[in-house]
Amino acid sequence: MELYFLGTGAGMPSKRRNVTSIVLNLLAERGTCWMFDCGEGTQHQALKSPVKIGKLEKLFITHLHGDHIYGLPGALTSRSYQGGDTPLSMYGPKGLRAFVETSLLVSDAHLAYPLEIVELEEEGLVWEDDAFRVTAMRLEHRVECWGYRIEEKDMPGKLLTDKLRELGLPSGPLYGRLKSGQDVTLPDGTVVRSADVIGPPIAGRTVVILGDTRYCDGARELARGADVLVHEATFAQNRQELALAYDHSTSVDAARVAGEAGAGTLILTHISSRYQEEEADVLLHEAQELHADTHLAHDHFSYTIARKPAGAL
């Protein structure tokens, strides 16, 4: 599981930062990737990266400001040309369907795959299968805006094969039964309990990706106990009044959310174009004073979310 940042700027692109788009690489887990927001030029950014638009399985939109959605028509059509023929699901605020369908209609675009668009109405569960769960909550921004919490479910521990060999069990079908949770009775009447030969469970990982927001309860609730929190940091702390006026966050706001939520790694993104090159370091240093485990994302920055040791739930 890896986060890859295609665009990390705010409002409008700059020479150093394109507008917002983040990819959650799940190739190892499910052979696909998920995208969060798709600002103008996202498909061009993908061409300079390992990201394959054809591998997109889900696309989550936080809100309908242009710097988060103007790349959608190009990315959706390019997915067809890059071999994407499997269904694609999109999630986002009311109005997303009208934007996408109108863009495709007036440009006479034809997709080679089924497209499902889900407009969010209530906070809570967005999607779930046997391996992942996605929930969403409203944030505080000038327009309806959502944050997403992606939770990988815990996995069963590994089969303790050394212990099985000590008990005299040859490898084969019995191993599979024990791995699936079934107890096994040996020819001599000995009962081997599955629970005794399975190691501790492997904890799932939790990633929280927020849209544009001022400091708010929704952000804190979504981020509670997350392994990684991606939070906007449009301004430095000396621009707090400007941040409040436009319903954005400062680097200190982001660090406060991470600390109060007990989140692990904090990654700052959505950086105003006023902070170029070394000037952006002030955002990082301000956040690190409150939350030491903080990174400042830049375009094509990647971060691998490592698994916790077995049993560390």
Active-site residue list: 67
Cβ-contact 262, 224 below 8 angstroms: yes
Q: Which residues are annotated as a binding site?
A: 63, 65, 67-68, 141, 212, 270
Q: Which residues are annotated as a binding site for Zn(2+)?
A: 63, 65, 67-68, 141, 212, 270
Residue ranges of the chain with per-residue pLDDT less than 70: 309-313
Comparing CA positions, the residue from 209, 233, 228 lying closest to residue 219 is 209
Residue 233 makes CB contacts below 8 A (sequence gap 6+) with: 249, 250, 251, 253, 254, 268, 269, 270, 271, 283, 287, 296
pLDDT recorded at residue 170: 72
| Annotation: CATH topology of 2-155+202-304 | Metallo-beta-lactamase; Chain A (3.60.15)
Q: How many CA atoms lie within 13 A of 246 on its CB side?
A: 16
pLDDT recorded at residue 200: 83
Residues of the chain with CATH 3.60.15.10: 2-155+202-304
pLDDT recorded at residue 311: 54
pLDDT recorded at residue 310: 59
pLDDT recorded at residue 193: 87
DSSP string, 210-261: --S--S-HHHHHHTTT-SEEEEE--B-GGGHHHHHHTT--BHHHHHHHHHHH
pLDDT recorded at residue 64: 97
pLDDT recorded at residue 312: 58
The CA distance from 230 to 233, in Å, is 10
Residue 125 makes CB contacts below 8 A (sequence gap 6+) with: 133, 134, 135
Helix (H, G, I), strand (E, B) or coil at 47: helix
Comparing CA positions, the residue from 177, 155, 113 lying closest to residue 29 is 155
pLDDT recorded at residue 184: 82
Global confidence as pTM? 0.89
pLDDT recorded at residue 47: 95
**Buried/exposed 227-265: b ≥16 CB within 10 Å, e otherwise:** bbbbbbbbbbbebeeebeebbbbbbbbbbbbbbebebbb
